[in-house]
């Protein structure tokens, strides 16, 4: 494999980094404090076609490979310090990929062009109050009637929910069948009667990302809103987790690179005991470990992105990447705060925000513990 980027790919990353630095970081402290989603910046991202990257041109997309999409998201996370905005964009891209891969032609024509233009925000409604890591235990049901499904249930912690226009809902459609064939994905627009939202949730990190409960109360869903085949829900879920874990690892990599560079700059400029603190072995060792993690994540990430472009299944590999990237991002942010001493602990500096944001990375897309369980199972332990 040749991981050397072409000039076009280097230019892609450079363009997005410059855009993010110049357009997406202003006012972050205030909106992060208020927990406000920056709708105006979402529109700017759409204008740069960041929401159109992996979709075919016939649906208004850029026709990018998944590898090039990963490069773009890595660059966005590197240049944009608003991890909530980056996460919201990533969640919508994953929802769009679900429709691209499993949706009908009508679903693609109705959803993807609006998604690409930034006119539509999507959310995956999977987690429930009593079913987080144990997805098979979800209770939301969609009972098939003559011309529709009747959807009832509650979803919790749903990213993008308060601002979403459409939900991709995992529900039980065949309660009498074996558990793995009991679930299906349904497309539910926000305007449908019976859809309601809880209050936006206050979070420790990713505060500009909007999360809330979603309630479905006898919500009528047309039969044509079924995504894929009935009973295919868990297969679709497992497939999409691979794409999601790889895409969000690109976010983690971009952020980790920014943290590494910040620590390098501080350690060479900050002097104690008559010399830069980078000269102290314990400090230089922290930074060296960040560099090791960055290099290994990038190599593995690029390998998996290329493999997904070749339609390979990567259940084990995606879980390996997810655990390694998220845990090392969290560690790097903690070490960055420690390295900056008292300054790192102050709210006026950005390090504490990066640390708070990083904590969620080991929870969403499957906790580290669940991904370790997946790895162990596939190793037949």
Give which of 6, 76, 123, 87 is closest to 257, Cα–Cα: 76
Residue 224 CA to residue 208 CA, distance in Å, equals 34
Longest dimension (CA), the chain: 80
Using the 8-state DSSP alphabet, how is residue 6 labeled? P
Within 10 angstroms of residue 369's Cβ, the number of other Cβ atoms is 12
Q: Which residue has the tokens 């960041």?
A: 50
Active site residue 244: yes
As a 3-state breakdown, the chain gives helix, strand, coil percent values, each rounded to 5, of 55, 15, 30
CA 189 remoteness from chain centre: 21
Nearest CA to 185 among 140, 155, 230, 147?
Answer: 230
Catalytic residue, chosen from 74, 230, 242, 244, is: 244
Q: Strand, coil or helix: what is 153?
A: strand
- Residue 169 makes CB contacts below 8 A (sequence gap 6+) with 125, 140, 142, 151, 155, 185, 186, 187, 188, 216
Q: Is the Cβ–Cβ distance between 266 and 283 less than 8 Å?
A: no
DSSP letter (8 states) at residue 205: S
Active-site residue list: 244
């Amino acid at each position: 494999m040749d991981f050397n980027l072409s000039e076009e790919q280097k230019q892609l990353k450079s363009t997005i980094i410059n855009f993010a630095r110049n357009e997406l970081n202003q006012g972050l402290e205030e909106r992060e404090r208020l927990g406000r989603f920056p709708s105006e910046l979402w529109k700017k991202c759409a204008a740069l076609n960041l929401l159109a990257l992996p979709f075919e041109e016939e649906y208004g997309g850029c026709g990018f490979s998944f590898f090039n999409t990963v490069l773009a998201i890595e660059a966005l996370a590197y240049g944009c310090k608003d991890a909530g905005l980056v996460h919201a964009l990533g969640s919508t891209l994953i929802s769009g990929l679900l429709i691209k891969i499993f949706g009908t032609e009508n679903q693609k024509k109705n959803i993807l062009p609006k998604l690409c233009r930034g006119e539509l925000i999507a959310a995956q409604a999977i987690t429930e109050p009593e079913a987080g890591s144990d997805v098979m235990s979800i209770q939301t049901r969609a009972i098939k009637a003559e011309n529709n499904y009747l959807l009832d249930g509650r979803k919790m912690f749903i990213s993008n929910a308060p601002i979403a226009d459409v939900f991709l809902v995992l529900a039980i459609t065949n309660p009498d069948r074996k558990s793995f064939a009991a679930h299906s994905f349904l497309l539910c627009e926000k305007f449908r009667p019976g859809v309601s939202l809880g209050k936006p949730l206050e979070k420790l990190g990713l505060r500009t990302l909007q999360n809330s409960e979603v309630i479905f109360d006898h919500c009528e869903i047309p039969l044509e809103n079924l995504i894929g085949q009935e009973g295919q829900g868990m297969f679709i879920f497992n497939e999409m987790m691979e794409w999601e874990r790889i895409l969000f690892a690109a976010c983690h990599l971009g952020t980790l690179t920014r943290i590494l560079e910040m620590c390098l700059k501080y350690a060479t400029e900050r002097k104690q005991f008559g010399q830069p603190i980078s000269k102290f072995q314990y400090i230089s060792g922290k930074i060296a470990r960040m560099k090791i993690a960055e290099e290994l994540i990038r190599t593995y990430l690029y390998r998996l992105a290329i493999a997904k472009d070749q339609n390979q299944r990567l259940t084990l590999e995606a879980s390996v990447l997810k655990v390694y990237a998220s845990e090392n991002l969290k560690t790097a942010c903690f070490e960055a705060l420690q390295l900056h001493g008292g300054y790192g602990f102050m709210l006026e500096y950005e390090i504490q925000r990066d640390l708070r944001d990083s904590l969620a990375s080991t929870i969403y897309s499957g906790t580290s513990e669940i991904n370790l369980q997946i790895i162990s199972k596939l190793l037949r332990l």
